[in-house]
């Protein structure tokens, strides 16, 4: 009886973690889309732009 009770009590924690990860991904992806729609570079594109133009330095 105790084992099944532990499994049921552990379920809300797993579900809360799933919701947290889902919403975190949603807000990250939404912010990324807003940046791209405003013709701004996303954060991870800044390094790419630096590498493209760095060959002019040498």
pLDDT digits (tens, 9 = 90+) for 9-18: 555 677 777 8
Split into its structural domains, the chain has a count of 1
- Hey, which bits of 2-55 come out as E strands? none
Locate 5 and state its tokens: 């009770």
Domain, as residue range, for 37: 2-56
* Alpha-carbon gap, residue 39 to 43, rounded angstroms: 13
Torsion of Cα atoms, 45 then 36 then 39 then 54, to 10°:
10
Question: Is 36 a residue whose pLDDT tops 50?
Answer: yes
The first and second tokens of residue 18, run together, are 């799933």
Span 32-47, average pLDDT = 56
């Amino acid at each position: 009886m105790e084992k099944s009770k532990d499994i049921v009590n552990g379920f809300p924690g797993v579900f809360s973690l799933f919701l947290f990860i889902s919403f975190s991904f949603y807000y990250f992806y939404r912010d990324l889309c807003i940046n791209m729609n405003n013709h701004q570079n996303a954060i991870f594109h800044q390094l790419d732009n630096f590498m493209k133009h760095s060959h002019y330095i040498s």
